[in-house]
Amino acid sequence: MSAPDASPLRLGIAGLGTVGIGVVKIVQRHAEMLEARTGRKVVITAVSARDRTKNRDADLSSYAWEVDPVALATREDVDVFVELMGGHEGAAKDATMAALKAGKDVVTANKALLAHHGQALAELAEGAGRVIRFEAAVAGGIPVIKALTEGLAGNAIRRVMGVMNGTCNYILTRMETAGLPYETVFEEARQLGYLEADPQLDVGGIDAGHKLSILAAIAFGTKVSFEHVVLEGIGCISIDDIRRAADMGYKIKLLGVAQMTGRGLEQRMMPCLVPAASPLGQLQGGTNMVVIEGDSVGQIVLRGAGAGEGPTASAVMGDVLDIARGTRLPTFGQPAARLADPIPAAVSAPAPYYLRLQLLDKPGALAKVAAALGDAGVSISRMRQYGHADTTAPVLIVTHKTTRDAIDVAIAALPATGVVEGQPVALRIEEV
């Protein structure tokens, strides 16, 4: 073992929001513990944020202050640039690239940056002989990047799944427990400050999609390809769907799934039904969960807080301490030049589907629906018609395993039956 580096590891932190201050607190509170665990002092030399005058919950007086994050990133007395500004263009990107070019290692919590520029950053880091680490970018405090890249590196990964947007899971859970419609809970979440400034990042699945694309790159040795993630948000989910799914033994989750099949790489971030008794089905509120399936290990489930000061700062510090200890890996677990261009799967793997439709109260109506499904090659596993006071009755169908194409053909054929009102809802049932 070559003599480990015993000089202090000097951090420059750009971005002093919740997570940045969380990192400052850990470095200050646990100086002795961090030194015991790495053999080096871990110190902060400089920080940067937009507003210097803002009152922050930490003493920053001993750190140099840089107005310009690029200047921070390239300071002589900074070894590791800790990027906690967010955003995939502008200052975060510029400063990260400047840091790597200046020979600094980078630790970031920025999922958007990695999702959009992961390959370029990986190439830049490797060319400069530096590392870029991003445990905090995916599933907050859960050490999932480490598990996938290192602990499970002996496995051919079959599938990675995750509930990775706490706000969406909060909304879906709250709709169920309080019996409130989507719009009401959405508004609650906004008022509680749970939503991003652009709520589509959350409820449209974009934020979770960024995370999925990062996991997929590591799992399957492909270049990050967020542009190939099939995104569907949770806005289409009604309280009825949640209740009916529960009747059939399922929960609805905004579930990300990445898998490599003979048809290519699938990346989906969409509302799915999962068995209520499964670990994913049991996940409540803002907690995150990632499920990794490997050919040797089988299924590994990781669960923890997906956001917040402490958990995210914990993940940032995990990366910092690895760097302090001299652990150096390629960005996505193998050299950037070896990462393959992913071939996105044109069709998704077959699955059972959940269909909800409003049936007109006419003789033979159910038979007509069943026939339309049959004609499309969709076979019915379970069907429930609910009582009604109205001229239409809600009907739920769980199909046998079929393709999304067949489901779409069946749905397109339903209006012609003359017995279905409105737009049917079709949700994939992911076998977990």
What is the C-alpha separation between 267 and 83, in angstroms, rounded? 27
Contact between 64 and a copy of itself per CB under 8 A: no
Least distance to a copy of itself, CB of residue 430, Å: 18
Contact between 143 and a copy of itself per CB under 8 A: yes
What the block records as the tokens of 340 is 């393959």
What is the C-alpha separation between 24 and 7, in angstroms, rounded? 20
Contact between 337 and a copy of itself per CB under 8 A: no
Contact between 303 and a copy of itself per CB under 8 A: yes
What is the C-alpha separation between 345 and 278, in angstroms, rounded? 27
Nearer to a copy of itself, 32 or 183 (CB): 32
Q: Is 196 annotated as a binding residue?
A: yes
Contact between 333 and a copy of itself per CB under 8 A: yes
Contact between 314 and a copy of itself per CB under 8 A: yes
Backbone angles phi, psi at 336, to 5 degrees: -55, -35
Q: Is 232 annotated as a binding residue?
A: no
What is the C-alpha separation between 355 and 397, in angstroms, rounded? 5
Least distance to a copy of itself, CB of residue 347, Å: 26
Q: Give the interface segment with a copy of itself, choosing from 252-260, 321-329, 356-364, 410-418 (CB under 8 A).
A: 321-329
Contact between 43 and a copy of itself per CB under 8 A: no
Is residue 41 part of the annotated active site? The answer reads: no
Contact between 83 and 96 (Cβ < 8 Å)? yes
b/e sequence 76-107, b meaning 16+ C-beta within 10 Å: eebbbbbbbbbebeebbbebbbbbbebebbbb
Any residues with CB less than 8 A from the CB of 341 and at least 6 apart, and which? 222, 223
Q: Which amino acid is at 123?
A: E
Least distance to a copy of itself, CB of residue 213, Å: 19
**What is the total residue count of the chain?**
432
Contact between 151 and 135 (Cβ < 8 Å)? no
Options 294, 342, 369, 411; binder of a copy of itself; rule CB under 8 A: 294
Contact between 143 and 115 (Cβ < 8 Å)? no
- Three-class DSSP category at 23: helix
Nearer to a copy of itself, 231 or 302 (CB): 302
Least distance to a copy of itself, CB of residue 152, Å: 6
Determine the straight-line distance between the first and last CA of the chain, rounded to whole angstroms: 43
Contact between 407 and 426 (Cβ < 8 Å)? yes
Backbone angles phi, psi at 370, to 5 degrees: -60, -40
What the block records as the tokens of 186 is 């959405």
Contact between 209 and a copy of itself per CB under 8 A: no
Least distance to a copy of itself, CB of residue 313, Å: 6
Contact between 282 and a copy of itself per CB under 8 A: yes
Contact between 79 and a copy of itself per CB under 8 A: no
Report the relative pairing of strands 353-360 and 392-399 from DSSP bridges: antiparallel
Contact between 388 and a copy of itself per CB under 8 A: no
- Three-class DSSP category at 61: coil
What is the C-alpha separation between 19 and 15, in angstroms, rounded? 8
| Catalytic option among 104, 146, 211, 253 | 211
What is the pattern of x (binds a copy of itself, CB under 8 A) and - over residues 156-175? x-------------------
Contact between 305 and a copy of itself per CB under 8 A: yes
Least distance to a copy of itself, CB of residue 64, Å: 23
Contact between 300 and a copy of itself per CB under 8 A: yes
Options 15, 141, 271, 342; binder of a copy of itself; rule CB under 8 A: 141
Contact between 327 and a copy of itself per CB under 8 A: yes
Contact between 11 and a copy of itself per CB under 8 A: no
Contact between 430 and 349 (Cβ < 8 Å)? no
Contact between 55 and a copy of itself per CB under 8 A: no
Residues that bind a copy of itself (CB under 8 A): 1-2, 22, 26, 30, 33-34, 36-39, 129-131, 135, 141-143, 146-147, 150-156, 221, 277, 279, 282, 294-305, 308, 310-311, 313-318, 320-322, 325-329, 333-335, 338
Catalytically active residues are 211
Annotated binding site for L-homoserine: 196
Annotated binding site for NADPH: 111
